[in-house]
Amino acid sequence: MPLLTRMLNAPLSIDVRRGAVAALGDLLADKRIATEGRVAIAVGRGQGDQIAEHVRPSLAACDVFQVDGGTVDAAVDLGTKLRGGSYEAVVGIGGGRTIDATKYAATLSGIPMVSVATNLSHDGICSPVASLVHDKGKGSFGVVMPLAMVVDLDYVHAAPPRLVRAGIGDVVSNFSAVDDWLLAAEECGERVDRMALTVARTAAEALLHQPGSIESDRFLTVLAEGLVLSGMAMSFAGDSRPASGGDHEILHAIDQLYPDAANHGELAGLGAAFCYHLRATHLGQGADRLAEILTCLGRHGLPRFPADIGLSVEQFADAVLLAPRTRPGRFTILEYLGLDKGATLKAVEEYVQAHGG
């Protein structure tokens, strides 16, 4: 009989709650990730030391390494240190940058990685992709999926609110990514993985309609789980397709042209809203989704318009124009429409006029 199932690459365990970090040692032992306690801990500069001290009592023996930002160099450096010791696993504790660098280092050194997120700024906390800075800018690198995922809500409550809210934009951008995927299937015959699509979209749908905000544990749990599900959707699909469409192309273009204008999740949400404006005005689809996304972004104080991130209409239009070149081979609403400079500027002006007043 043929085996009519599929194997999915997902973490062994997902733990989202207050106090989760203190139970890290038990998790590593129970799940047989580190039976002898030979664990390396990677922390970022800043709050890293404090967290390492919090974790230490639950681990018999561990070495703590500082990760110097989210760069390829820092990740390679950590990878070398990991190879130097005979560690059973590495635990990356921190925000997106530290976790991305640790994922890459773990992949280089061939040991499993446990992700402990202290903020919820983007879906890289539990995905098979690491976004790292190199000589020529920022790049996305395929890495091994974290073996276990821990989100300690005590740390998330203590994180800068801006870094926590940003994740909302990243999860909500799944709507736009998924619609781009379906468009690519229709126009270019691209294969759609319906399982991955369902997981990505359901995560966004749950968050969109979740009352409350980042002050509440319940909301944070839906957000954290939404980010984890987005990461899993990418793992199921084998690339970032279910969580990255024209929205993320615009994000990457803004990152290139105006570094530090805003963070990943903030830009993803803004990019998704603009992509839905294009759909609504050029395809006659998605106006209701656009309204929902704008309401959601507004309710959580996330940027919705170019001015919210300090860009003029012209600057934003330049980014939209550059966007398709940031991700060659990915077909989205931007590639489908292929708007020239004049038409792009007009579209951005219309977007701001129609929704920004």
**Token pair of 313, please?**
């209409």
Cross-strand pairs, 141:
130
Least distance in angstroms from the C-beta of 251 to Zn ion: 7
123 appears as a binding residue in the annotation = yes
CB atoms within 10 A of CB 190: 15
**Residues 126, 11 contacting (CB under 8 angstroms):** yes
What 3-state class would DSSP assign to 124? helix
248 appears as a binding residue in the annotation = yes
10 Å CB burial of residue 72 (0-12, 13-18, 19+) is: middle
Q: Which residues contact 99 (CB under 8 A, 6 or more apart)?
A: 92, 115, 116, 117, 124, 125
Least distance in angstroms from the C-beta of 120 to Zn ion: 12
**Number of residues binding to Zn ion, judged by CB under 5 A:** 2
Cross-strand pairs, 6:
none
CB atoms within 10 A of CB 86: 9
User: Applying CB under 5 A, which part among 12-20, 31-39, 169-177, 322-330 lies near Zn ion?
Assistant: 169-177
Least distance in angstroms from the C-beta of 222 to Zn ion: 17
CB atoms within 10 A of CB 74: 24
71 appears as a binding residue in the annotation = no
Least distance in angstroms from the C-beta of 327 to Zn ion: 12
Distances (CA, A) of 25 to 32, 89, 113, 126: 11, 12, 14, 19
326 appears as a binding residue in the annotation = no
User: Binding marks (x or -) toward Zn ion, 253..282, rule CB under 5 A?
Assistant: ---------------x--------------
When the beta carbons of 112 and 169 are compared against Zn ion, the nearer one is: 169
252 appears as a binding residue in the annotation = no
Distances (CA, A) of 330 to 181, 184, 247, 248, 335: 9, 8, 12, 11, 8
- Of 15, 170, 318, 335, the one binding Zn ion (CB under 5 A) is 170
When the beta carbons of 249 and 335 are compared against Zn ion, the nearer one is: 249
Report the run of H or E that residue 84 belongs to, with start and end: helix 72-84
174 appears as a binding residue in the annotation = no
When the beta carbons of 40 and 254 are compared against Zn ion, the nearer one is: 254
176 appears as a binding residue in the annotation = no
When the beta carbons of 79 and 231 are compared against Zn ion, the nearer one is: 231
Least distance in angstroms from the C-beta of 247 to Zn ion: 8
Binders of Zn ion among residues 327 to 346 (CB under 5 A) are none
When the beta carbons of 226 and 286 are compared against Zn ion, the nearer one is: 226
When the beta carbons of 170 and 335 are compared against Zn ion, the nearer one is: 170
Least distance in angstroms from the C-beta of 110 to Zn ion: 26
Question: Which phi-psi region, left, alpha or beta, contains residue 310 (left: φ > 0; alpha: ψ -120 to 50)?
Answer: left
Least distance in angstroms from the C-beta of 123 to Zn ion: 5
Point out the residue whose Cβ comes nearest to Zn ion: 170
99 appears as a binding residue in the annotation = yes
Report the run of H or E that residue 235 belongs to, with start and end: helix 217-237
Q: What is the CA radius of gyration of the chain?
A: 20
What 3-state class would DSSP assign to 58? helix
When the beta carbons of 39 and 334 are compared against Zn ion, the nearer one is: 334
Least distance in angstroms from the C-beta of 171 to Zn ion: 9
When the beta carbons of 28 and 204 are compared against Zn ion, the nearer one is: 204
List the binding residues for NAD(+). Answer: 96-100, 118-121, 127
List the binding residues for glycerol. Answer: 123, 170, 248, 264
List the binding residues. Answer: 96-100, 118-121, 123, 127, 170, 248, 264
Interface residues with Zn ion (CB under 5 A) are 170, 268
